[in-house]
Structure 1
Amino acid sequence: MTQTPWWKKSVVYQIYPRSFNDSNGDGIGDIPGMIQKLDYIKELGIDVIWLSPVYDSPNDDNGYDIRDYQAIMDEFGTMEDFDLLLQQIHERGMKLVMDLVVNHTSDEHEWFIESRSSAKSPKRDYYIWKKGIDGREPTNWASNFGGSAWEYDENTEEYYLHLFSKKQPDLNWENPLLREDIYEMMKWWLDKGVDGFRMDVINFISKDQRYPDGEVKPGNKYASGSSYFRNGPRIHEFLQEMYTKVLSHYDTMTVGEMPGVGVEEGKLYTAEERKELNMVFHFEHMGLGDGEHGKWSALSWKLTDLKRIMTKWQKGLDQKGWNSLYWNNHDQPRVVSRFGNDNEKFREKSAKMLATCLHGMKGTPYVYQGEEIGMTNVAFPTIEDYEDIETLNWYKEQKEKGIEEAEMMRAIYARGRDNARTPMQWNDSKHAGFTTGVPWLQVNPNYKRINVTNSLNDPHSVFYYYKSLIELRKKDETIVHGSYHLLLPDDEDVYAYTRTYKDDMLLIVCNFSSSVQTRSFSELGERKVDRILSNEDSKQTYSLENVELSPYEAFIYRLT
């Protein structure tokens, strides 16, 4: 029998460096601060740490604008600090996955400085340069951060493409010399001992070489253009080349962040025989509640839609690929505020319910820092309190359109990226124990109640519930390998499914509502019920008939 790859049995913990732990009082999280907290992460039961970018960067987009791929940002420490972090992680039996950002660099990267120096520069084609058309940009594509995706360069009288900030010029993957330089950089990190990569917007690297205009929606100046760079014409060729030249020589874990990827593409990216990636981050469930203005519409969502999306991916990649499982990350709002209930009465219980729902599924679960203690969204009083470039650009655009302040702030409170980036809440001391200085972004005011110290002192906390779920995955083959089957597909309050492996069956039931629900699971037949885990410690159910679920109750039962 083929041995199960380590990443299929692992649980990943994402660290967002600026907000995790500050060791020197400058208000910014750093690598020595991470080292101080490794025992905490180990206590949770984590197998893999995914580290968001720590590379040298001018920090226009919080480190996703890289100036030097083989240097550490001064604010975070030194390469010696990084080497010690890697050593300490490995000594604790954990692995480290780095962020790989190769759709774009910083405009301060030496490649770009050389590229823009002259139209005849040897590095010119490391980036995407085009002449304007009839006095305007080469295409009408919009940047993901607002405005045009093209920036004019007076020196060479051409435009360069930037799908994100104008300080993040896109790399030209059509250039084989550029690709070789990227592969050499990846090998440098893997030779250091890192255990894999989370690849930032990796499905954007192949652009449609015709560079056509997109369709402009009414009221907008620019078009999405995404159909011309998402899952582009050579994307699978590029990833297979990356695998052959780099990844095949190491025992790695790879996950591709892929906005706009569907299940059928997901199979192509993750099927083992295709030799591309181990798993992808799709965004279908993150799009729930999107409206006319995308995520900024922040509309209500239906549980049936969430079930449909999760089930589609569970079924679609079963035996054909591998799923990544996540509720939130550095770009998404806090899950207990998004899909649960963050008022104090139900916060902990709904956080445990959401954890049960996700960790019961097939795939590799990801825990975002603070998720394991039930951290929530934040509502800062004014726009001046926010730091995120995407949020600030959107606010500026909407203000120019005359949108009301209250409406804009409601959208930011619901879906803004700074919800995830408020500093980690370690204790109830000033600034939540994150820093002795002034934090780069304000701490969520609820840190006095919601913090790590309180969680570790309470045996019934969200932290220990996550720990139990992680332990279950380590010892239960059905959690790792079992097939998934959805129950009650039309139910708007209860999410229920089974996991089956060989002769073993698990039943996972989650009440997403704030009211009591009663459901019957008699379709599963006459079976003995054994409770494996529940967020209702005092309850026992011995029958699948008329199961009463309290608000936000969740359980995992073994059926024999």
Structure 2
Amino acid sequence: MELSWFKKGTIYQIYPRSFNDSNNDGIGDLRGIIEKLDYLQKLNVDILWLSPIFSSPNDDNGYDISDYCSIMPEFGSMDDFDELLEKTHEKGMRLILDLVANHCSDEHEWFEHAKKSKNSPYRDYFHWRKPSANGGPPNNWKSFFGGSAWEYDEASGEYYLHLFTRKQPDLNWENPKVREEIYNAMRFWLDKGVDGFRMDVIPLISKREGYPDAPNVGFRKIIEDVYANGPTLHQYLKEMNEKVVSQYDAFSLAEGVGINHDNAGLYINYDRKELDMLYHFDILECTIVNGKFEEVSPFDLVNMKRIFKKWRDAVHEKGWLANAMGNHDFARMVSRFGNDKEYWLESAKMLFIMQATQNGTLNIYQGDEIGMTNIKLNSIEEVKDVQSLNFYEENIETKKYSEEMALDMINKEGRDNARTPIQWSDEINGGFSITEPWLRSNPNYNSINVRRQESDPNSILNFYRDLLKVRKENDVFVYGDFEELEFENPNLYIYKKQFGKQRIIVALNFSEKDASFIMEDKPSIEHIIINNYTELDVEDNQICLQPYQGIIIRLD
């Protein structure tokens, strides 16, 4: 196993727009992050991942980039970024940026030039096609955000491809000039001292020759078989690693949309020299049948165990995974997998025990460390997420759902749940800003906030801090081999881990009832490393876990 600095580290994802507003304009910014670096250092995280901070018209909150080498003005200046990078390094942490290389903004100068003329040297930076025989789009591809993936350009009489919003035209990676443009942008930031990139939807950059129609199957299957894993993808990833990433003390983290455990090795196996790691979507989407909003299944613990196991087996000693249970694209972790009401405190802690003891580089999404929950938006006017808005508009127009039903689906699974401002205190807007934030604060900031949890030794925040400290001191958490017990138990998740001479057992109760299991030997109280309750019920070698109780016991 190759050991690198980023493997044992913990990544903390910052969604800058919602993190901390230093100038009280209602939008988080770079200086707001600088103000909270001591907080992040005390949390015991190692790597800060910033969602896009580049110039953008914000059709998709920065994931539509109009200039890869400048800072979005509402986030601050390049001087602010340089100071943030320097102070992050001074505090012993690293910083990675979100690389959005599949598409850019239609307000990027490349696309503006491309639209002016079919003879423009920038025309081939994008995917342009003539209408089909019936005068419509070139094929039946659908956007991730609803509607056709093709937008008609009146001036040229051609369509351009956008797998996301119409303001996010896909870049043509077949053109070597496009690849070099992206590589130069990466070098610009790496030369400043940035420590790597999280690569947004990177499996989509290679398109299938001839743009064949998608079969009539579920959208997740279309992503895997049509949009992702294209014929020249691995050529590009090898080239990117050889020309750019490997030339620096940096790493690459892929967003694994469209990747499954069978082909993951093609991306991250050490001998491939493509990407350093990826996080997959099987856990993040384990309650989603086909696509967001409409087909949601109840949480199934045994299914989650199977997902963890198949991915662990697929990459064991050959490659490396990141371990994520939440990010800016999914509803809040404790609201999805735990109980955000009666057992909010216990389930938030228990979920983190599970996440912190899975192999791989740990990813924490901002706000999960204080147990932030989903928000209930009261009307479509309060919704900001373009994916949710498109879903609402499309389904209200076709009368598939009532306005109330569509909003209810958005409140359950919509991306705004994860994007509400961080709740720093019980002051107005959770201490995020004295100005009305760009997205309404969750009203529960009065009870769920950093200030309140700072002084509470039993808080979720202090539990995260303590567990992350223990994780740093115990390699078995990160690298240990698994032995799973009572695998088919629908309520208990129990596993042993061993790395060298270190051995632990992790036991988690995912139910609202007491649940018992038998250990081979009666555990000693002093061997309990972590317990999210103040007590543990042990009778001989039988352990009874209370609702959402989680424990880690040292066996060595």
Q: TM-score range by the shorter chain?
A: over 0.9
Distance 1:438 1:197 in 2: 32
Consecutive unaligned residues of structure 1, counting only runs of 5 or more, are none
The 3-state SS of whatever aligns with 2:278 is strand
Consecutive unaligned residues of structure 2, counting only runs of 5 or more, are none
Q: CA deviation at 1:397?
A: 1.1
Q: CA deviation at 1:391?
A: 0.2
Distance 1:237 1:292 in 2: 30
Q: Is the 8 A contact 1:59 1:65 kept in 2?
A: yes
**Bigger mean CA offset, 96-105 vs 322-331:** 322-331
Q: Is the 8 A contact 1:298 1:411 kept in 2?
A: no
The one-letter code matched in structure 2 to 1:41 is L
1:205-284 to structure 2, matched below 5 A, reads 205-216=205-216, 224=222, 227-284=225-282
1:441-460 to structure 2, matched below 5 A, reads 441-460=439-458
Deviation digits for residues 387-444 of structure 1 (CA, Å, limit 9, x no counterpart): 0000000011111232123322221121100000000000000000000111000000
- Correspondence for 2:17: 18
Q: Is the 8 A contact 1:361 1:484 kept in 2?
A: no
- Correspondence for 1:41: 40
Distance 1:3 1:320 in 2: 9
Distance 1:3 1:257 in 2: 21
Pairing 1:6–2:5 present: yes
- Correspondence for 1:418: 416
Residue 101 to residue 20, structure 1, CA distance change in 2 (3 Å): same
1:542-557 to structure 2, matched below 5 A, reads 545-557=541-553
| Percentage of identical aligned residues | 46
- Correspondence for 1:481: 479
Count of residue correspondences: 552
- Correspondence for 1:435: 433
Q: Is the 8 A contact 1:493 1:513 kept in 2?
A: yes
Q: CA deviation at 1:477?
A: 1.8
**Bigger mean CA offset, 471-480 vs 188-197:** 471-480
Distance 1:436 1:126 in 2: 43
1:68-79 to structure 2, matched below 5 A, reads 68-79=67-78
Distance 2:306 2:235 in 1: 31
The one-letter code matched in structure 2 to 1:164 is F
Q: CA deviation at 1:293?
A: 5.1
Distance 2:191 2:263 in 1: 31
Distance 1:188 1:324 in 2: 25
- Correspondence for 1:164: 164
Report the TM-score, using the length of structure 2 for normalisation. Answer: 0.96
Residue 541 to residue 191, structure 1, CA distance change in 2 (3 Å): farther
Cα RMSD, aligned residues only: 1.7
The 3-state SS of whatever aligns with 2:536 is coil
Deviation digits for residues 354-403 of structure 1 (CA, Å, limit 9, x no counterpart): 00001011101111110000000011111111100000000111112321
Distance 2:375 2:6 in 1: 33
- Correspondence for 1:123: 122
- Correspondence for 2:148: 148
The 3-state SS of whatever aligns with 1:244 is helix
Distance 2:350 2:291 in 1: 30
- Correspondence for 2:83: 84
Report the TM-score, using the length of structure 1 for normalisation. Answer: 0.96
**Bigger mean CA offset, 60-69 vs 275-284:** 275-284
Deviation digits for residues 140-174 of structure 1 (CA, Å, limit 9, x no counterpart): 10011111000111122111100000000000000
Distance 1:243 1:200 in 2: 16
**Bigger mean CA offset, 532-541 vs 112-121:** 532-541
Distance 1:38 1:13 in 2: 12
The one-letter code matched in structure 1 to 2:311 is W
Distance 2:296 2:398 in 1: 18
Residue 152 to residue 419, structure 1, CA distance change in 2 (3 Å): same
1:125-140 to structure 2, matched below 5 A, reads 125-134=124-133, 135-140=135-140
Residue 464 to residue 203, structure 1, CA distance change in 2 (3 Å): same
The one-letter code matched in structure 2 to 1:319 is E
Distance 2:531 2:339 in 1: 18
Deviation digits for residues 2-49 of structure 1 (CA, Å, limit 9, x no counterpart): 872101110011100110000111100000111001100001001000
The 3-state SS of whatever aligns with 1:151 is strand
Distance 1:239 1:540 in 2: 52
- Correspondence for 1:499: 497
Q: Is the 8 A contact 2:536 2:544 kept in 1?
A: no
Deviation digits for residues 71-109 of structure 1 (CA, Å, limit 9, x no counterpart): 000110000100000011001000000000000000010
Deviation digits for residues 488-520 of structure 1 (CA, Å, limit 9, x no counterpart): 111110111111112321111110111111112
